[in-house]
Structure 1
Amino acid sequence: MTRLTRPRRLSAGLAATALVLTTLGAATAASAVPAPVAAAEPGPLMNYVVNTKASPGHVRKVEKAVKAAGGTVLVSYQQIGVVVAQSTNPDFKTAVRSGRDGREVQSVGATRTAAVTDGTAAAAAPAPAGASSEREVLGAPVPDPRENEQWDLSQIKADQAHKITDGSRKVLVGINDSGVDDTHPDLAPNFDAKDSVNCTTNGVPDRTVGAWRPTTSPHGTHVAGTVAAARNGVGIVGVAPGVRIASVKVVNDSGFIYPEYAICGFIWSAERHMDVTNHSYFIDPYEYWCKDNGDQGAVQEAVRRAVAYSTGRGVLAVAAAGNSNYDLANKTTDTGSPNDSTPVSRTLDKNCLNMPTELPHVITVASTVQGGARSGFSNFGLNKIDVAAPGSAILSTAPGGGYRTMSGTSMASPHVTGVAALVKSAHPWWGPLEIEAALRKQADDTACPAVPDARCTGTTKNNAFFGEGNVDALDAVKRGW
């Protein structure tokens, strides 16, 4: 998983979707404007999520409250009652709740602890220690890869599943990541440019041609190849080589995935009618967002709404479990958050969630090595892991037409995403919940290690290391219900 882990102009094509947005500088309905609050000495530029009821009227009132508090509306989602705002007012969180329109604010929280640099030269600065883009292990590029090097495909029986289906062109998979090199010869045949986007400037969708491409990271391109590298006699083959892929860029040049980026990605995927989305990241700057009455609680609620909306619109989300060798079912402390400023040691409880992987109906994927054992870096947890898949030393595509091996739960997740795309191809009438059930049911039961490991609690059918088992592409596509 990348703590890795796209930017600017809204095109006319966006207006044709069902996405209801208010973008930077957009006008709101005319009404009495609240008296402005007393101007405070400007502070650092910060972004916020402001939550209200999911209705056009409530969102419009909150937009006015944002402006009265000295803020700017970046983007609004009437579908889920979330407004993303920006302000240098150090008292913004208090000010936005004041006045008549402020009564409609349910919660408000800053989306990061460092000042906003989106769209500036500072945004391209090297990622600090701990940034998600550094969490994957990169192997040496492979100059002349071949399908017979892909042990991972045979381990999940994808090679056998391909005798039944390579996947349908009607199935669209969103690669919510650091960008996809759509010029790569193994990805170009399956790439869908019209449904691709960049969300990494304050979470405002940018459909500029090529904005979805990677700039500093090979991560998204590698993930895309595992999902759907084409069967074209070149390089490698993906788990679902016959489906289409779109790039939903949610990782910035420094390797961060801030909440507004992720929310933009989930809403975009829903409104573009994607079938499956892959999320090989956790949302920064907190590895675990706690349900408090402050910033983290407000952000957790905003992201939860975005994920639920996406699921309700027919999109199955698949996510990496994480690379911290951590028991998600028994959280204790976190010493690495926030990762965009100064980390502090804090106590965690069951309400502190790794997002999006721990949100409802998101498929959480653990990583295995060749042979099926658990990867030592993989997070685990009874009733937290849904299924497992290969994630160590995975050969896939790299920007510029190359290939390389990478390791991480980020590499495990796209195997399951590819299998989900095959399931959708074989059962086009199934929605997210049916596909989720199929992935669980058809996974190969995998027992805890023969040498006892106290962390692997549960049974052969469902345990902390493998969930309901190693994903099985063949069974997932051949068995009827």
Structure 2
Amino acid sequence: MTLHSRRRTVRSIVGTAAALGLVLAGGLSATAGTSETSTPVPVNPPDGTVMSYVVNTAQANPGQTRKAEKAVTDAGGVVVQSWPQIGVIVAQSDRAAFRDSVRVTGKNVITSVGATRTAEVKDKVTGPGIPWGPGSSGWNQGKNKPVNGDEPSAPIPGSGTEQYTSLQWDMKMIHSDEANLVTDGSRNVLVGVLDSGIDPTHPDLKANIDVADSVNCTAGGRPDQSEGGWYPTTSSHGTHVAGTIAAARNGIGVVGVAPNVRVASVKVVNDDGFIYPEYAICGFMWAGQRGMDVTNNSYYIDPFEFWCGDQPDQAAVKEAVTRAVKWSEDKGVVSAAAAGNSGLDLTTNTVDEGSPNDAPEPVTRTINEGCLDIPAQLPGVVTVSSLTETGQLSYFSNRGLGQIDVAAPGSRIASTVPGGGWAYMSGTSMASPHVAGVLALMKSAHPELTPAQMVQKLRADATPTACSAPQYDEGAACVGTDAENSYYGTGIVNALKAVQ
């Protein structure tokens, strides 16, 4: 859940409890026009420090996976979760030489290995012969993710009877009120909310939460359906996002874009506000396995705002996440993602000032065109910028010609929060769920469409919007044509056309 402080306020969905709400804004991604080598960020843990890794195999099949699992254990690691469908293993090890060792033990099977974070893991998974010791070394104890950009929530006073629909200017902007005259969405459609958890008792949400398909992915990247595991703990972010997508039409509070579809809580934000790669991989794989139609991703994957293909650890992680997103798409899942709250032009930015955000001090580093904000900049993912009530680009929203697919309301959005309340929040994290809701309506009206066809229709249906001044005079100016530009992509998402 990541917004960001002018960027380092990062936008990953989480942060401290408050940060998460602030943080899930959306990921940034760089496609800067430079071939300069990105600045390395070495991860060199000492022996005894438990770290998390992704191990990628050359082929995605059970046989290769079993061989890679043996290589992991032979190299002194513990297999946390295997995804043979995509040839990815999540492992933990306290051996400083684990990466080099596993490449040797699995030399005919393993293509890449990468650390998924720079901090020692707290969510350790024990295994035979692996003496983890008494626990964390302590240097990172109590560390929370920096605020990522989503603005703090502002409670909506009062309680009671549906009175907040008059505050939902956002629904009118995208014509969802008109679309709902055609359909409120089908109960056959399921939206996965990859976020900080959803309050299952909220009066505006409880009728639409699919408990059977909800899961917690923050236990080392292993799916866990234990009761309460997918509930929100330190952040209201996921509950707010869920309300925008599917708050019920029940005479209470607000109404979502698709008030009759089901939503599943896929918790990918830990209590410290971090969304590590193994959590997101678990989320996308779960969505594909459970037959979800749409996922919303209002975050960027920690600890790097931009993951660079010319850095071995980061390249391995980027490959693993890309495989998970592609596999979910092949299973029929279409994904929307927040563009990020750093106010950057993703086509020209060459500097990352806030990564890694789980280190004692981030470094300012050079990035290049191979450095991406994931999952927002991955193929097939719908990238969403944020608008104000007047239709201007929100001051915090990332932008970029060819990087933004569509725009949606994201400033001062009224929606649900844990405890049965409602609040305003701002961020590209708030814009993305509008698009996820529209995709859910589209799938309801056109169940035959594939994910690629849905993205094509979404972009074609958007209301073309000419370049305009941003909310404030900061950040890169709008470039492009009325048909497609750096602020709006192909235009403002249009729910009514989506169901026609």
- TM normalised by structure 1 equals 0.89
Q: Deviation of residue 277 (structure 1)?
A: 0.3
Residue identity opposite 1:68 in structure 2 = D
Aligned to 2:151: 136
Q: Deviations over 1:243-279 (max 9, x none)?
A: 0000000001111000000000000000000000000
Higher mean Cα deviation, 279-288 or 101-110? Answer: 101-110
**Pairs within 5 Å for 1:136-285:** 136-144=151-159, 145-285=163-303
Residue identity opposite 1:462 in structure 2 = E
Partner of 1:265, secondary structure, is helix
Cα distance change on mapping 1:288 and 1:168 into 2, 3 Å = same
The answer on 1:45 being equivalent to 2:50 is yes
Q: Deviation of residue 43 (structure 1)?
A: 2.8
Counterpart pick for 2:442 among 394, 400, 423: 423
Aligned to 1:16: none
Q: Deviations over 1:312-341 (max 9, x none)?
A: 110000000000001111121101000000
**Pairs within 5 Å for 1:453-468:** 455-468=477-490
Partner of 1:188, secondary structure, is coil
Partner of 2:91, secondary structure, is strand
Q: Deviations over 1:208-253 (max 9, x none)?
A: 1221110000000000000000001111100000100000000011
**Pairs within 5 Å for 1:325-340:** 325-340=343-358
Q: Deviation of residue 307 (structure 1)?
A: 0.4
Q: Are the equivalent residues in 1 in contact too, given 2:150–2:425 (CA < 8 A)? A: no
The answer on 1:56 being equivalent to 2:62 is yes
Q: Are the equivalent residues in 2 in contact too, given 1:258–1:284 (CA < 8 A)? A: yes
* Gap regions ≥5 residues in structure 2: 3-10, 15-44, 125-134
The answer on 1:110 being equivalent to 2:115 is yes
Residue identity opposite 2:85 in structure 1 = Q
Partner of 2:477, secondary structure, is coil
Residue identity opposite 1:171 in structure 2 = V
Aligned to 1:11: none
Q: Deviation of residue 293 (structure 1)?
A: 4.4
Q: Distance in 2 between matches of 1:222 and 1:126?
A: 24
**Pairs within 5 Å for 1:279-298:** 279-298=297-316
Cα distance change on mapping 1:142 and 1:174 into 2, 3 Å = farther
Aligned to 2:5: none
Q: Are the equivalent residues in 2 in contact too, given 1:143–1:402 (CA < 8 A)? A: no
Cα distance change on mapping 1:270 and 1:136 into 2, 3 Å = farther
Aligned to 1:5: 13
Counterpart pick for 1:383 among 402, 405, 410: 402
Q: Distance in 2 between matches of 1:232 and 1:211?
A: 27
Q: Deviations over 1:174-201 (max 9, x none)?
A: 0000000011010001110000000001
Counterpart pick for 1:309 among 315, 321, 327: 327
Residue identity opposite 2:346 in structure 1 = L
Counterpart pick for 1:364 among 378, 383, 395: 383
Partner of 1:112, secondary structure, is coil
Q: Deviation of residue 143 (structure 1)?
A: 2.9
- TM normalised by structure 2 equals 0.85
Q: Could you say which structure has the greater relative contact order, defined with CA pairs below 8 angstroms and 6 or more residues apart?
A: 2
Counterpart pick for 2:424 among 405, 408, 429: 405
Partner of 1:96, secondary structure, is helix
Partner of 1:152, secondary structure, is helix
Q: Are the equivalent residues in 2 in contact too, given 1:266–1:306 (CA < 8 A)? A: yes
Q: Distance in 1 between matches of 2:326 and 2:279?
A: 16
Q: Distance in 2 between matches of 1:41 and 1:245?
A: 42
Q: Distance in 1 between matches of 2:152 and 2:466?
A: 27
Q: Deviation of residue 41 (structure 1)?
A: 7.5
Q: Are the equivalent residues in 2 in contact too, given 1:80–1:306 (CA < 8 A)? A: yes
Residue identity opposite 2:170 in structure 1 = D
Q: Deviations over 1:47-82 (max 9, x none)?
A: 000000211111111100100110000000000000
Aligned to 1:433: 452
CA RMSD, Structure 1 to Structure 2 (Å): 1.9
Q: Are the equivalent residues in 2 in contact too, given 1:338–1:344 (CA < 8 A)? A: yes
Q: Distance in 2 between matches of 1:158 and 1:274?
A: 22
Q: Distance in 1 between matches of 2:202 and 2:490?
A: 35
The answer on 1:396 being equivalent to 2:415 is yes
Partner of 2:218, secondary structure, is coil
Q: Deviation of residue 413 (structure 1)?
A: 0.2
**Pairs within 5 Å for 1:344-363:** 344-363=363-382
Partner of 1:199, secondary structure, is strand
Cα distance change on mapping 1:41 and 1:344 into 2, 3 Å = closer
Q: Are the equivalent residues in 2 in contact too, given 1:49–1:85 (CA < 8 A)? A: yes
Q: Are the equivalent residues in 2 in contact too, given 1:51–1:82 (CA < 8 A)? A: yes
Higher mean Cα deviation, 450-459 or 190-199? Answer: 450-459
Q: Distance in 2 between matches of 1:124 and 1:313?
A: 39
Query: How many residue pairs align between the two structures?
Result: 442
Partner of 1:217, secondary structure, is coil
Q: Deviation of residue 363 (structure 1)?
A: 0.1
Residue identity opposite 1:361 in structure 2 = G
Residue identity opposite 1:272 in structure 2 = R
Higher mean Cα deviation, 292-301 or 406-415? Answer: 292-301
Residue identity opposite 1:98 in structure 2 = V
Q: Deviation of residue 141 (structure 1)?
A: 4.0
Q: Are the equivalent residues in 1 in contact too, given 2:12–2:302 (CA < 8 A)? A: no
Counterpart pick for 1:448 among 445, 467, 479: 467
Q: Are the equivalent residues in 1 in contact too, given 2:114–2:314 (CA < 8 A)? A: yes
Tell me the percent identity: 56
Aligned to 2:35: none
**Pairs within 5 Å for 1:4-23:** 4-5=12-13
Aligned to 1:127: 144
Cα distance change on mapping 1:111 and 1:280 into 2, 3 Å = same
Q: Are the equivalent residues in 1 in contact too, given 2:150–2:429 (CA < 8 A)? A: no
Q: Distance in 2 between matches of 1:450 and 1:322?
A: 19
